Structure 1
Amino acid sequence: MSKSLRLTEKWMQRGLWLVALVFASFLIGLGGTLVGDLPKVEKQLTLDDFMDRAASTALRSSIKTTEAAERDADAALEQAQLKRRVTQADSAAARETFNNWLSTRHATQLSGQDPELVARTRALDGLKDKERAAGMAVEAQQQAALDARQSSVRERRKLAEMEQAAQKLLNAEYRRIELRVFLYRLALTLPLLVAAGWLFAKKRKSTWWPFVWGFILFALFAFFVELVPYLPSYGGYVRYIVGIVVTVLVGRQAILALNRYLEKQKLVEQLPDAQRREELSYDTALTRLSKGVCPGCERPVDLKNPEIDFCPHCGIGLFDHCRACNTRKGAFAKFCHACGATGQRAHLPAQA
């Protein structure tokens, strides 16, 4: 069709296509903003929404308490271990002193030192008792720290089990939310797609076609970009099933359209030549001729052959002769290219 347009008309057509694209871009921006806000209609859920609030609160509080007890027990254990090391050092030093003194006593054999021996032995026993008490204190703190750790582990395990069960419920709810959001998108997109189909069928060649095509581009973008990527998967079954259904529907419509077209062409090819050319628009005829096909049946025809004046497939006239100058010209031309006379079809000469 572009070959039959005037230069100014071509540029105006391009400008109108630019209007269509700009109009579609603003519609796409508005639609994208609306679709992006759709998930906000659903409540943002957390694990706590699927757990016994009282039980989870009690467990978390218990975990904090046991963690604090564990820290206190560890600190007390460090202090007890330090005291034990001190008592062990004192006991070792006293034992070394006692052994040295005992060696001196054996060397001097002084019986008058027997009371001092008893006193030193008692002091050494007292230090040994302190060492044993410090060891018992360390063991007690070790037991307290172990009890605190085990209690904390038990509480954490209980909380983890609750969170694991809640996570399963949360994941299931997220899948339901995903499906609902997809249905929201579908509820917005499907009417747009239906409206775009109606506009394409009825209004794509109207005066306001830039806005029609802009809306069609917007509807296609909304369907393939704003809807299809968010199609719930469920292991791929939904996507494949939807793909099969859409393919079957589109394929069925394409097959029916092809059959209707072929039936229509058969009926059209049975009409008189003049009626068939009257039903063909000027631009449509020129477009098909520029592609080297018959304007009536769209089959290939050698238009450069000067001996072909009628389509060998459907019989429609392709060339005739000017009534004014008898020059061979296109049957669909509005004016004769040789003399400029009105291109009303004339009967071919008898010799033709």
Structure 2
Amino acid sequence: MRKKQATSSNRLPEKWFRRGLWLVAFVFAGFLIGLGGKIVGDLPQAAPYKDLQAYVNQQVYAPLQLEQTRLQSQQTQLQNVAEQNNLALQKQRNQTLSEQDSLNNWLATRSVTEQSDQNPEVIARTQKLDALKAQERKAQQQTEAVQQQQLDTEQRLAQVNTELAQLDEQAQVLKQADDRKIELRVFLYRLALTLPLLLIATYLFMKQRGSRWWPFVWGFIYFALFAFFVELVPYLPSYGGYVRYIVGIGMTLLIGRYAIVAMNRYLERKQAEEALPSSERQQQLSYDVAQLRITKAVCPSCERPTDFKNPALDFCPHCGIGLFDYCGVCQVRKNAFDHYCHKCGAVANDKL
């Protein structure tokens, strides 16, 4: 009795059916991925991140913020007053200099008596100049007073900003610790969702990938792989890279172990098959499997490269299985796995 093996048929309609079913598998996987993405996208809402202000001591922070706002407003007002005072001081200085120059020119061009200091006009001009200088000193004092207020405000504002920055740094430390907890919680939610999918996909791959419902099986497998590598792995907590490296090592060990076990099973199966007689091995090979491997120029049994174009080749030089025989009716050399003779159409001897 022939052993059934899943393979691609050489029938054209079946090839197109398979292509259509692969399309069904991808479409099915696409819808599952979309649904999974919606679910995973809503997971962060279960543990939302908090704003930095939630970790600040508001009893200390709020008064400092109010004072900061007041000092900034006061600083702006003082800047405007300082600009006005500077302009008034400069104007007063110009007026004093002008009056001084006028007095000096007037004294230089007139004839004065020995009692010129008692001249009423000289006295009046001198008194006017003294009044202008007094106004200039007053404007200078006002400007200096505003500058002192600006300096005091600037120093206090710098102190308030420093205290606020310290509170922000303390809050940032608390936020980072809480964010790591939330990140881990969200990751565990993702893991709880994707790990069962991956386990189910592993079971389906090992047990059901060749079943009649294989398009849905493969669609689910693609969905589980996408959920694992796209929705879970990029969100692995880092913790300095330790977690990701450990997970990577674990995945490599699991995949490597599966590959090694599969390779050893394959080699053991091939060794067991090669120990069987050629006729028995031919019966165990399905028609489609044999034809597919022949088209790839490999032995249908041991799958080693074989020169099928060699007219003298009747048996595999590697495992000894019969590759060509002769029709019992017309004696033409034909493929040993063909059901019918390509020359006369007679049924092969072993198919009777």
- Fold shared by both chains (TM-score > 0.5): yes
* Equivalent pair of 2:306/2:316 in contact (CA under 8 Å): yes
1:192 to 189, 193, 197: 197
Residue by residue over 1:68-108, the C-alpha shift from the partner in whole angstroms, topping out at 9 and shown as x without a partner, is 22222223333333443444445445545655676688624
* Equivalent pair of 1:309/1:318 in contact (CA under 8 Å): yes
Question: Residue 267 of structure 2 aligns with which residue?
Answer: 262
**AA paired with 1:165?**
Q
Deviation larger for 126-135 or 6-15: 126-135
1:336 to 337, 341, 352: 341
TM-superposed deviation, 1:146: 0.9
**Any stretches of 5+ residues in structure 2 without a counterpart?**
1-6
Deviation larger for 182-191 or 147-156: 182-191
**AA paired with 1:80?**
N
Question: Residue 142 of structure 1 aligns with which residue?
Answer: 147
Counterparts of residues 59-74 of structure 1 (less than 5 Å): 59-74=64-79
| CA distance, structure 1, for counterparts of residue 169 and residue 296 of structure 2 | 68
* Equivalent pair of 2:324/2:333 in contact (CA under 8 Å): yes
* Equivalent pair of 1:232/1:238 in contact (CA under 8 Å): yes
* Equivalent pair of 2:61/2:164 in contact (CA under 8 Å): yes
Residue by residue over 1:82-135, the C-alpha shift from the partner in whole angstroms, topping out at 9 and shown as x without a partner, is 443444445445545655676688624578956776666555444433332222
* Equivalent pair of 1:98/1:120 in contact (CA under 8 Å): yes
| CA distance, structure 2, for counterparts of residue 242 and residue 63 of structure 1 | 49
1:297 to 284, 299, 302: 302
| CA distance, structure 2, for counterparts of residue 262 and residue 207 of structure 1 | 27
**Any stretches of 5+ residues in structure 1 without a counterpart?**
347-352
Say if 2:215 is the partner of 1:210: yes
Does 1 or 2 have the higher relative contact order (CA < 8 Å, sep 6+)? Answer: 2
| CA distance, structure 2, for counterparts of residue 323 and residue 96 of structure 1 | 139
Counterparts of residues 224-243 of structure 1 (less than 5 Å): 224-243=229-248
1:158 to 155, 163, 167: 163
TM-superposed deviation, 1:304: 3.9
| CA distance, structure 2, for counterparts of residue 195 and residue 111 of structure 1 | 118
Residue by residue over 1:186-209, the C-alpha shift from the partner in whole angstroms, topping out at 9 and shown as x without a partner, is 333332222222222222222222
* SS in structure 2 at match of 1:332: coil
TM-superposed deviation, 1:227: 3.1
Deviation larger for 162-171 or 20-29: 162-171
Identity %: 54
Say if 2:56 is the partner of 1:54: no
* Equivalent pair of 2:40/2:231 in contact (CA under 8 Å): yes
TM-superposed deviation, 1:62: 0.8
TM-superposed deviation, 1:265: 2.2
**AA paired with 1:240?**
Y
Question: Residue 3 of structure 2 aligns with which residue?
Answer: none
* SS in structure 1 at match of 2:334: strand
1:38 to 43, 46, 64: 43
* Equivalent pair of 1:320/1:345 in contact (CA under 8 Å): no
TM-superposed deviation, 1:319: 3.4
TM-score with structure 2 setting the length: 0.83
TM-superposed deviation, 1:57: 1.3
The alpha-carbon distance between structure 1 residues 75 and 342, as it changes in their structure 2 partners (threshold 3 A), is: same
Deviation larger for 165-174 or 288-297: 165-174
| CA distance, structure 1, for counterparts of residue 136 and residue 195 of structure 2 | 85
* SS in structure 1 at match of 2:49: coil
* Equivalent pair of 1:322/1:345 in contact (CA under 8 Å): no
| CA distance, structure 1, for counterparts of residue 152 and residue 302 of structure 2 | 94
**AA paired with 1:264?**
R
Question: Residue 181 of structure 1 aligns with which residue?
Answer: 186
* Equivalent pair of 2:49/2:182 in contact (CA under 8 Å): no
TM-score with structure 1 setting the length: 0.83
RMSD over equivalenced CA pairs, Å:
3.2
Question: Residue 23 of structure 1 aligns with which residue?
Answer: 28
TM-superposed deviation, 1:236: 4.0
